[in-house]
Structure 1
Amino acid sequence: MTNSLERLQKVIAQSGVTSRRKAEQLIVDGKVKVNDKVVTELGTKVSPNDKIEVEGVQLEKELPVYYMLYKPRGVISSVSDDKGRKVVTDFFPEVPERIFPIGRLDYDTSGILLLTNDGEFANLLMHPKHGVEKVYVAKIKGIPSKEELKKLLKGVKDKNDVLKVIRYKVLSTDKKKNSMILELTLREGKNRHVRRMMEQLGYPVLKLKRERYGLLTLDGMTAGDIRPLSPKEVNQMRNLASK
């Protein structure tokens, strides 16, 4: 917090408790107190000296931290799992801050996943209108024609969604194994986006990895590796999302 007044939902998000959007809902639901009084007005501003409680827990300001994980397959993109499966925060046993994943990768998808305690930063990157590029490499069953692949640019309908890519590139074709490896660039990331899109075309995904997120790549990393983002990388990601 700074010495000036800040919107309550922004302060909650910056504390790492949750995203700004969820913070707004908590305020509306009457689950936030300022100086022991329930506050439900979204325009409320607070100072660094105000006592803030979220669902009965007093807010403690954490310094923002930013990490990248090379998520292996078979890991849940969550901070906990009621079935006891491995989750992404298990790779950060020595990080004291309450970090959470920015978005998610499917259980069977590997690659770049960012984690932070900065709700504002997470919300900025996840918001659909900001469209930070994400590059995936997918191994698919079958060999689609050029005409079929062009449908990826126009968009493929699945339920209420139109799923598309902004670019694609054929990396290799294996006629013996009847498979193809594609590089797919997205600006949005709907639930199971790539898998649903390819299934609608009739070419199910056999293996999927996110190899680039904005300017970030997996260079020098192997599955399960983690590393902090540099201040320069954090600023670059902010700038990409703010364009």
Structure 2
Amino acid sequence: MAAASNRLDRFLARRLQRSLKQIRLDLVKGRVNVDNELCDDPSRLVNQFTQIDYDGLVLQNNQPIYILLHKPIGVVCATKDAQHKTVIDLIEHPQKNELHIVGRLDLNSSGLVLLTNDGRWSSALTDPKHKVNKVYEVEVEHPITEDYITAFAQGMYFEYENHITAPALLRILSVNKAQVVLTEGKYHQIKRMFGRFRNPVLKLHRVAIGNYTLPPDLKVGEWQLL
């Protein structure tokens, strides 16, 4: 969902319903400002956050929004849902309906969720090629042994996707609690990996995505602007 770039002349032609020839003449006449500077270059690339003025009229002045949310259990990572409260429902912001979710958590998981209207930022955090760490605290039903560490580090084959998971780091915190660090996020990946040991996950809580960590004083259900 990367923010799309477009040529300035094409943006103006579409927005003002004028021909490209007319728009290029307007640019030469100095009728267009881009990010508060006069611009006469029709090939200038602009995106959703570029401020564009035409004869003093603001055509676009969108601001990027970055939100960190402490998701509760029972809330879905979706923009709309007929049955459950969504993460969007928890946010009071005039532009909340423009937001999308950066790395989802399932209904019964809690913790850090990021939301934004900036597709380039979210892609940088979620694209597997960037190998951004996602850190989880996991509580399972049965004791965790050293075998888990090796299995998680070697990766596991998921037949449904015909995919071997990227190496994951597992640290044993107590008899039945662990910290897991992933660089990808396949469907219910952590639950399925523990499932190989027939060890059901009782609690799954995300504490970090890359450099963004869940603040200890941010209560369940609360959010803050980054």
Q: Given the two structures, how large is their TM-score scaled by the length of structure 2?
A: 0.71
> Residue 131 of structure 2 corresponds to which residue in structure 1?
131
> Residue 84 of structure 2 corresponds to which residue in structure 1?
85
Give aligned-pair identity as a percent: 30
> Residue 25 of structure 2 corresponds to which residue in structure 1?
none
Match of 1:170 among 169, 172, 186: 172
CA contact (8 A) 2:116 2:122 kept: yes
> Residue 23 of structure 2 corresponds to which residue in structure 1?
none
> Residue 219 of structure 2 corresponds to which residue in structure 1?
222
Match of 2:207 among 200, 205, 211: 211
Give 4+ residue runs of structure 1 displaced > 3 Å after superposition: 33-37, 44-50
Shift of 1:99: 1.4
Shift of 1:132: 1.1
Which entry has the higher C-alpha Rg, 1 or 2? 2
> Residue 26 of structure 1 corresponds to which residue in structure 2?
none
CA contact (8 A) 1:135 1:184 kept: yes
List gaps (5 residues or longer) in structure 2: 7-12, 19-42, 54-58
| Aligned positions of 1:7-156 closer than 5 A | 9-10=4-5, 34=14, 61-81=61-81, 83-97=82-96, 98-156=98-156
Residue identity in the other structure for 2:168:
I
Do structure 1's residue 181 and structure 2's residue 177 form an aligned pair? yes
> Residue 197 of structure 2 corresponds to which residue in structure 1?
201
CA contact (8 A) 1:138 1:184 kept: yes
Shift of 1:194: 0.7
CA distance in 2 between counterparts of 1:115 and 1:70 reads: 11
Shift of 1:142: 1.4
Q: What is the alpha-carbon root mean square deviation over aligned residues?
A: 2.8
Q: How many residues align?
A: 182
2:129 partner SS: coil
CA contact (8 A) 2:166 2:183 kept: no
CA distance in 2 between counterparts of 1:190 and 1:60 reads: 37
Shift of 1:188: 1.3
CA distance in 2 between counterparts of 1:45 and 1:202 reads: 57
2:4 partner SS: helix
Change (3 A) 1:165 1:106: farther
CA distance in 2 between counterparts of 1:8 and 1:71 reads: 26
List gaps (5 residues or longer) in structure 1: 1-6, 12-32, 38-43, 51-58, 174-179, 230-243
CA distance in 2 between counterparts of 1:8 and 1:153 reads: 34
